């Protein structure tokens, strides 16, 4: 009987291995999705700050501006491409 019990343990042990691997794959996928959501939230935050700053430079009153101010005070470090000139400058194509 002990051989049968050992065989059951062995089968259950190997059966748990694919289940554990599947769990790790699901966890990795969830983490990737979380990173994508965080990156999109940062992109939207930066776009809102850029819009607010561009409209401020154009003299639009704060109560009618779109976007939002840098209320987290992170745009200088976290938003790529944010410059003193902002996004209201036109870039002309050169041939």
In a domain, 94, yes or no: no
User: Is residue 90 a part of any domain in this protein?
Assistant: no
Domain that holds residue 32: 2-78
Count: domains in the chain = 1
| Domain assignment present for 92 | no
The Cβ of residue 50 has, within 10 Å, a number of other Cβ atoms equal to: 20
In a domain, 83, yes or no: no
List of long-range contacts for 76-85, beta carbons under 8 Å, 24+ apart: 78/42, 78/45, 78/46, 79/42, 79/45, 79/46, 79/49, 79/50, 80/46, 82/46, 82/49, 82/50, 82/53
Residue 84, in any domain of the structure: no
Per-residue confidence in pLDDT tens, the chain, 95 aa: 566 687 777 777 777 778 888 888 888 887 888 889 999 999 999 999 999 999 999 999 999 999 999 999 999 898 987 754 444 444 445 54
Torsion of CA 78, 79, 80, 81, to 10 degrees: -140
The predicted model scores a pTM of 0.60
């Amino acid at each position: 009987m002990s051989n049968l019990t050992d065989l059951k343990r062995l089968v259950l042990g190997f059966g748990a291995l694919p289940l554990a691997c599947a769990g790790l794959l699901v966890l990795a996928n969830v983490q990737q999705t979380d990173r994508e959501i965080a990156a999109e939230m940062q992109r939207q935050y930066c776009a809102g700050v850029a819009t607010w700053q561009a409209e401020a430079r154009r003299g639009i009153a704060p109560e009618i501006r779109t976007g939002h101010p840098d209320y987290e005070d992170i745009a200088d470090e976290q938003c790529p491409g944010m410059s003193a000139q902002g996004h209201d400058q036109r870039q002309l194509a050169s041939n």
